[in-house]
Structure 1
Amino acid sequence: MEFLTVAALKQQAGEQPQRLAVDAELQGRSERQTKTGKPYLVLSFADATGGFNLNAWSDAPLFDAASRFTDGTVLRLDADWTQNQFGLNAGNLAWERLDGDALETFYAGDPETAERQRKAWKTITDFCSSIKDPRLAALTDHFLKEYGTRFRRAAAARKNHHARRGGLSEHVAQMMRAADAICGVYPDLNRDLMLSGVLFHDCGKLWENQYAEKGFAQGHSIYGEMLGHIPLGIELANKLWHEVAESPAAKGWLTEEPPSEHVRIHLLHLIAAHHGLYEFGSPTLPRTPEAVALHHIDNVDAKLEMMKDAYQESAELGDGIYEKRFPLPANLVAPLPPYGDAPQAPEKETPAPSSELF
């Protein structure tokens, strides 16, 4: 039997049961009660590609077995899988613990994800090496050397988008591509500041959405819980700035334009304002062209990643219409392919939508 990744399982599971197997790490459990007072468990599982929750009802064998599983246990889950708007369901579930070579293969992650994240990291380092402002070049280099390993483990979120080990590097790399492109369209934007802001905007997630050196369970830290990634990011960027400012090379920065203090505060503003609105957690609103651009680049990349996942995982309600996935606002409709890429029409053509609707 083929053992799927979590992402592949979500793509294949639908309304009709399919016998499939997936290897996943138990991240945690929470005790719940049904409306009638019966206990059940919500078990959280993950691998390199994503995660899912599984309900263990009190009358199911998994309910009793789960009490013997410690967090971090890796299981092979073989079941008749279905999926609906509430997530995955497993019927006739069987399981076994992974050990030995099978466990090491699981921790290595799937090759496709590993290669995608390797390319993402190269994109990040290449863009950072193109920064011309000596202050921002030194700062980004210092950050990548000091925190690169931790950065490459972090997720971009706990759920919704890029919520996987290494997801932050994928998110930042795509945002850098977008920032570089938009600077070509709007040349008045400060490209060096934009690229640096993209790198640092979510750097607080190195504590808020971090993974251990081994495994796919996203941990919790007292710093992430009590401060959140925006205050943490401001503190980290400010700390690294002052460390770089004490280096011998910084002596030549006194005569640089714009003044170094202006560069520092503009960078910190990008971190502070990247959520765009007070109600979304920003301590301030975007007040510069770069802050406006970075906020929208961040939002676009997050939303498009959510839509990509939704097309793969949501039930098809009708021809090309997909069930709404939180936090997206509505049911999705299949995108229009570029001209020339559309599939060949069948012999019996489906009538096009009437142009006389109105």
Structure 2
Amino acid sequence: MDLGITKKYMIFNLVTNTTKDNRPFIRMTLTDTDGGSMNAIMFDSNKLSFEPARGQVVNVTGALQQYNGVTQLKVSDMVLLEGEDANEFLPKSDKDAKAMEDELKAVLQKHIKSSYFKSLCNAFYADKAAYTLFKKSSAAKSVHHAYIHGLLEHTLSMVKLSALICDFYGKENVNKELTVMGALFHDIGKIQEIDIDNSFEYTDEGKLLGHLLLGINMVDKYIESIPDFPKKARDLLIHLIASHHGLLEYGSPKRPKTKEAFILHYVDNIDARINSFNMAFERENVEEGGWSQYDRILERQFYNHGLIPEE
């Protein structure tokens, strides 16, 4: 049974298309002030009195329905609302930001022993503007950890996972401090690439340079402020940032050429993909035994199998 709904949302994502009989329609991700999100579809969108766009706050009328086992909102009408604060509608991490920040600092303190890497951490903390943005920023526009505090959440996971893997292989095989520092800074350029005050749209410098180059520039400035920072440590750390996407076609200026760079690349991929699953299940209300909608980035659907019974 369809469930009618009228509610204020922000248009977080928007894709326009046409049906086989040439009817215009839009697919949207709508977000509310509670941090929740909803997949939505509207047919004959050309009948609206305004041009729908990402970041607009709208009053939505429609009905919740099941489509291929997934809950979505079939929109019958939308009204543009002026004067609303779009920031209130941005998706947010369900984890406590202060707790994540404290844990990140504690993990870094535990694993980072070299004086020059400690100084690099302190230079980052001392950059109040950048550090404040880091704690608040999204880790992506839409693909993974695409919510307020998402970059902090993703970075904390990366640091912890990197340390675990390095401990498994041992210090005779990999440099844990280097890998952990790479995890800390691998996505730091996203605070300049993504505008969190504009519905996570890319900034001009983000479009022109991308977060890898922006991050390398940031880390280099911190290093320049630290006397006698080892050049080899600098080059290896910058390589981690430059190569963490793994492949040239994925935007890496260099492919991973050290064991630490391989670890960082695959840990980044794992954490991003697991979060993509979780975001899809939550956004689409995929229940146990159900499938998500088709993911255009990963080119597949996700199966929520639930827990396997224990004997």
Bin of the TM-score, shorter chain as denominator length = 0.7 to 0.9
Matching residue of 1:145: 126
Q: Separation in 2 of the partners of 1:60 and 1:108?
A: 25
- Partner of 2:96: helix, strand, or coil? helix
Which of 258, 262, 265 is equivalent to 1:288? 258
Partner of residue 153, structure 2: 170
Deviations 1:202-254 (Å, cap 9, x if unpaired)? 11111222312xxx711321111111111211122112211x22xxxx3xx4x
Verify the 8 A CA contact 2:86 2:199 in the aligned structure 1: no
Does the CA contact (< 8 Å) of 1:153 and 1:210 recur in 2?
no
Find 1:135's aligned residue among 95, 107, 116: 116
User: Alpha carbons of 1:273 and 1:87: their partners in 2 closer, same or farther (altered >3 Å)?
Assistant: farther
* 8 Å contact from structure 2 (residues 243, 252) kept in 1: yes
Matched, 1:266 2:236: yes
* Aligned partner of residue 149 in structure 1, secondary structure: helix
1:170 Cα offset (Å): 1.1
Between Structure 1 and Structure 2, how many residues are aligned? 302
Q: TM-score, normalised by structure 2?
A: 0.79
Counterpart contact for 2:58–2:78, Cα < 8 Å:
no
- Opposite residue 217 of structure 1, the aligned amino acid is S
Contact 1:203 1:233 in 2 (8 A): yes
Residue type of the alignment partner of 2:146: A
2-structure distance, mates of 1:335, 1:71: 33
Cα deviation 1:190-211 (Å, max 9, x = unaligned): 2221221111101111122231
Shift of 1:122: 2.1
Native 8 Å contact 2:31 2:89 kept in 1: no
Structure 1 letter corresponding to 2:251 = G
Q: 1:262 & 1:47 partners in 2: Cα distance?
A: 48
Is 1:183 matched up with 2:166?
yes
Matched, 1:297 2:267: yes
The one-letter code matched in structure 2 to 1:262 is K
Aligned residue runs from structure 1 range 184-203, under 5 A: 184-188=167-171, 189-203=174-188
CA distance in 2, matches of 1:209, 1:45: 19
Write the deviation string for residues 248-276 of structure 1: whole angstroms up to 9, x where unpaired. Answer: xx3xx4xxxxx711110111011011111
SS in 2 for 1:228: helix
* Residue correspondence of structure 1 range 76-155 to structure 2 within 5 A: 76-82=59-65, 84=67, 88-93=72-77, 97=81, 107=88, 113=93, 115-130=95-110, 131-146=112-127, 147-155=130-138
Contact persistence 1:179–1:297 (CA under 8 A) = yes
AA at the equivalent of 1:235: N
1:219 pairs with 2:201: yes
Deviation, 1:174, is 1.3
Distance 2:192 2:186 in 1: 13
Q: Decide whether aligned partners of structure 1 residues 29 and 108 sit closer, same or farther in structure 2, where only a CA change above 3 A counts.
A: closer
Structure 1 position 294, deviation (Å): 0.9
Q: Structure 1 vs Structure 2: percent identity of aligned residues?
A: 25
State the alpha-carbon separation in 1 of the partners of residues 54 and 250 from structure 2: 32
TM superposition shift of 1:324: 5.3
1:99-136 deviation per Cα after TM superposition (whole angstroms, max 9, x unaligned): 7xxx78982978x8465333222222222333211111
Partner of 1:352 in structure 2?
none
Could you tell me which runs of 5 or more consecutive residues in structure 2 were left unpaired when the two chains were aligned.
none
Contact 1:152–1:166 (8 Å) recurs in 2: yes
Give the distance between the partners of 1:70 and 1:308, measured in 2 at CA: 26
